[in-house]
């Protein structure tokens, strides 16, 4: 039996699909009340549990051979620091200790390239780059680093675990609409797009899932593996997307200082209306700072490979179009069914 936490997420549901293709039995851990649309119809055992509750973890860890831990909080907005610490740090420690207690053969912990210290431009970050345990970039970086360290500390106690660090994940099966997916979606629309002169590394979600399985099979215990893809500027990303869609749009680069000034205030506006802004202080820092990562170790030791970025963009947009066409078709059918139902109101008199 294989246990996957965070199974409904973008990487999680793709990983579940990959494991099923390999003939594995999968136990998917989901939160109470969580939408499980991304796992609908898959032949898996679905259990309701919370990684912040060690007792339920002990219960569902029984009989498990491999644990893939993906549950976590991603936030680029201020105000989520306490929640990120509980889930990304305490949750990771709970899962690692439960796995050790249950005697699982291996745990694969999903961190992020942001768990690594951000180095100046001109340097390539790799697995020897220290963890950003005191990151000035933001709480997300720090909590992902602390979560990875909690797993490494448990390895010293006897847990067999490896850590993977994906870069910016894009690709199909993005049911919840990730921030990276939203960026590709916006570039695919015929519109005016405002960007800053920055860059980032993007990787296909399917390659990340494959890399995680390879890490479980071939990774060395206590080691970190970067699962990155291709580094491109935001202008290049928009150009690749327009090439895939054959649509024209206007891309305007705005000065970084102006974007930083505006983002200081708009991020609170967006939080109030529960929207995700295009620019926040954290996201701007991410694309203008160094995003050069080496995946050489994962390629050499695991056999990891990353596909071309244009393929990821094309497949994501094709999946998205098909998914929403199906969604609205089902919604329309339900509305028609309700309209055809006879009224239950009593006749007057």
Per-residue model confidence as pLDDT tens digits over 143-152: 999 999 999 9
Q: What percent of the chain has pLDDT over 70?
A: 84
3 state SS of 81: helix
Q: Among candidates 153, 178, 43, 138, which has minimal Cα distance to 95? A: 153
Give the helix ranges, DSSP H, for the chain: 10-21, 54-61, 81-84, 92-102, 139-155, 179-188, 205-218, 234-245, 256-272, 281-288, 296-302, 309-340
Which residue shows structure tokens 């939408």? 35
pLDDT at 267: 56
pLDDT band at residue 290 using 50, 70 and 90 as cut-offs:
very high
Both structure tokens of 6: 């965070």
Distance (Å) of CA 138 to CA 85, 129, 154, 205, 233: 12, 18, 25, 24, 22
Q: Delimit the domains of the chain by residue range.
A: 2-313
- CATH architecture classification, 2-313: 3-Layer(aba) Sandwich (3.40)
Give the pair of three-digit tokens for residue 262. Answer: 């505006």
User: What number is the average pLDDT over the span 1-15?
Assistant: 97
Q: How many CA atoms lie within 13 A of 140 on its CB side?
A: 18
d(C-alpha 150, C-alpha 112), whole Å: 14
pLDDT digits 0-9 by tens, 207-237: 999 999 999 999 999 999 999 999 999 999 9
Task: Count CA atoms closer than 13 A to 279's CA, side-chain side.
Answer: 24
**What's the whole-number average pLDDT of the chain?**
87
* Helix 179-188, helix 309-340: angle, nearest 10: 90
Between 269 and 142, the more confident residue is 142
**Separation CA 274–CA 272 (nearest Å):** 6
User: pLDDT per residue over 174-214, tens digit each?
Assistant: 998 888 888 898 888 878 888 888 899 999 999 999 999 99
Q: pTM of the predicted model, to two decimals?
A: 0.88
């Amino acid at each position: 039996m294989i246990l996957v936490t965070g199974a409904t997420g973008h990487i999680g549901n793709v990983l579940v699909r990959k494991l099923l293709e390999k003939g594995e039995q999968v136990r998917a851990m989901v939160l109470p009340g969580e939408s499980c649309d991304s796992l609908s119809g898959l032949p898996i055992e679905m259990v309701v549990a919370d990684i912040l509750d060690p007792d339920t973890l002990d219960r569902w860890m029984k009989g498990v051979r491999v644990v893939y831990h993906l549950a976590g909080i991603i936030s680029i907005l201020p105000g989520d620091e306490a929640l990120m610490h509980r889930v990304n740090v305490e949750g990771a420690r709970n899962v690692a200790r439960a796995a050790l207690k249950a005697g699982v053969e291996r745990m694969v912990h999903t961190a992020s390239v942001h768990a690594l210290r951000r180095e100046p431009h001109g340097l390539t970050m790799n697995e020897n780059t220290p963890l950003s345990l005191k990151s000035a970039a933001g709480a997300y970086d720090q909590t992902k680093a602390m979560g990875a360290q909690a797993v490494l500390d448990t390895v010293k106690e006897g847990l067999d675990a490896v850590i993977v660090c994906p870069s910016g994940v894009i690709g199909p099966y993005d049911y919840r609409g990730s921030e990276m997916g939203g960026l590709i979606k916006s570039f695919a629309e015929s519109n005016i797009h405002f960007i800053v002169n920055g860059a980032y590394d993007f990787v296909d979600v399917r390659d990340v899932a494959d890399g995680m399985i390879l890490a479980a099979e071939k990774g060395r215990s206590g080691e970190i593996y970067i699962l990155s893809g291709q580094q491109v500027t935001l202008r290049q990303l928009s150009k690749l997307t327009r090439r895939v869609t054959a649509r024209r749009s206007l891309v305007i680069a705005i000065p970084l200082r102006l974007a930083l000034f505006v983002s200081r205030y708009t991020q609170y506006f967006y939080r109030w209306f529960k929207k995700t802004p295009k620019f926040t202080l954290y996201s701007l820092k991410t694309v203008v700072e160094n995003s050069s990562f080496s995946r050489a170790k994962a390629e050499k030791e695991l056999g990891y490979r990353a596909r071309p970025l244009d393929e990821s963009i094309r497949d994501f947009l094709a999946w998205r179009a098909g998914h929403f066409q199906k969604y609205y078709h089902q919604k329309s059918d339900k509305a028609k069914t309700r309209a055809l139902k006879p009224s239950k109101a009593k006749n007057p008199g």
